[in-house]
Amino acid sequence: MTDGTRGGFDRESTRRSAKAGDLTLNYYEAGEPTSVGGGLPLVMLHGGGPGASSWSNFGPALPGFAEDFRTLLVDQPGFGQSDKPPVEGNYFRFAAEAVKLLLDELGIDRIHLLGNSLGGGTAMRFALLYPERVGRLVLMGPGGLSLNLFHADPTEGVKRLMEFGAAPSEAALRGFISSMVVNQDLVTDELVAERFADAMAPGSMEAMKSMGMSFWNPDSFEDGLLWRDAHKLRRPTLLTWGREDRVNPLDGAFVALKMIPKASLHVFPNCGHWAQIEAAEEFREVCTAYLARHIERSRS
């Protein structure tokens, strides 16, 4: 929505920024801690498509989650209003370290962590690096962890992403967004124009290229193969998937479901890659119920 309001929350009134080491990260915050989920804050990390940001991915979901959690929507490095530096090493690790430094700056010790696509990869890497700082983990069609057993690579959604990167245009962006959802009524002219403007903002294309190259660089690409580390993930993990996901298809969930010791899987029918938008109410209910089963215990 161009007025910056989602479900009663004004974009600018919830907007914050803080240092994360040498970077400044933008985020949006609403809600207060409750007894749900042991009182831990909920941090949400967005996907990595053109024009993506925490607000575009999770702005509509913020009011519902803020009823039960102190909720922070974080623009990852290179996206939204956050700094856009060259990526050092693999993006998942680079972004996970930035999130850790942001939490340090904000004085937040432990969180529940929810990540979509690229943000799912960052969330998993964070949980592997800092398991003591994570209560429960929710991963939505996560990048890096998804291993397609039957679908060809690259998938339709990734092909359309690459087409946009090669020749940016509103038409190419519309094709990419169309692959995100089953319900094509969600692909509005307003959404395409808004995302295209963000994708063309100064530094955004360079940041997207740097992020993408971190998964091809011979010195860092193996660090992004998170499925190889799935057996090391010890935090309770909810895998969520749209049954009709054309970016990270559903068969990509099965290795993770088998290998992560405390993994569960919820599949949303008639739903693509944007479960938080296309199955909004069910997504909130499922995630809140899962996080509510967490009981925070003293670690002294």
pLDDT averages per 10-residue partition of the chain, 300 residues: 59 97 98 97 97 96 97 98 97 98 98 98 98 98 95 94 96 98 98 97 97 94 96 98 98 97 98 97 98 78
- Confidence (pLDDT) at 2: 42
The predicted pLDDT at position 297 comes to 76
The per-residue pLDDT for 8 is 62
- Note whether 44 and 137 are within 8 A (CB): no
The pTM assigned to this predicted structure is 0.96
- The label of the residue with tokens 């060259």 reads 86
What are the φ/ψ torsions at residue 104 (nearest 5 degrees)?
A: -60, -45
Question: Using CA atoms, how far apart are residues 246 and 209, in angstroms rounded to an integer?
Answer: 22
CA geometry: angle 89, 90, 96, nearest 5 deg: 105
**pLDDT single digits (tens) 36-87:** 999 999 999 999 999 999 999 999 999 999 999 999 999 999 999 999 999 9
151 is catalytic: no
| Annotated catalytic residue within 46, 112, 266, 273 | 273
Q: What is the dihedral of CA 68, 39, 133, 62, to 10 degrees?
A: 20
Provide the phi-psi class of 134: left if phi over 0, else alpha when psi is between -120 and 50, else beta.
beta
pLDDT score at 299: 53
Phi-psi region of 21 (alpha: psi -120 to 50; beta: other; left: phi over 0): left
Strands 9-10 and 237-242: unpaired
Count other Cβ atoms within 10 Å, centred on residue 181: 21
Write down the pLDDT at residue 298: 57
Tokens read off for 263? 């993994």
Q: What kind and span of H or E run contains 156? A: helix 156-166
User: What is the CA angle 92-110-222, rounded to 5?
Assistant: 15
Tell me the two tokens of residue 265.
């899987």
* Nearest C-alpha neighbor of 138 from the set 242, 288, 296, 271: 288
Of 292, 281, 277, nearest to 116 by C-alpha is 277
Q: What is the pLDDT of residues 137-167, one digit of tens each?
A: 999 999 999 999 999 999 999 999 999 999 9
pLDDT computed for residue 1 by the predictor: 40
Nearest Cα residue to 100 out of 126, 71, 69: 126
Instruction: Report the C-alpha gap between 273 and 175 in whole angstroms.
Output: 14
| Burial classification of residue 111, based on how many CB atoms lie within 10 Å of its CB (0-12 exposed, 13-18 middle, 19 or more buried) | buried
pLDDT of residue 296: 84
3-state secondary structure of 169: coil
Angle, helix 189-199 to helix 204-213, in steps of 10 degrees: 80
Return the pLDDT at 6: 53
- Bridge partners of 237, per DSSP, are 137, 263
Three-state DSSP state, 131 = helix
Q: Which two tokens stand for residue 72?
A: 């922070």
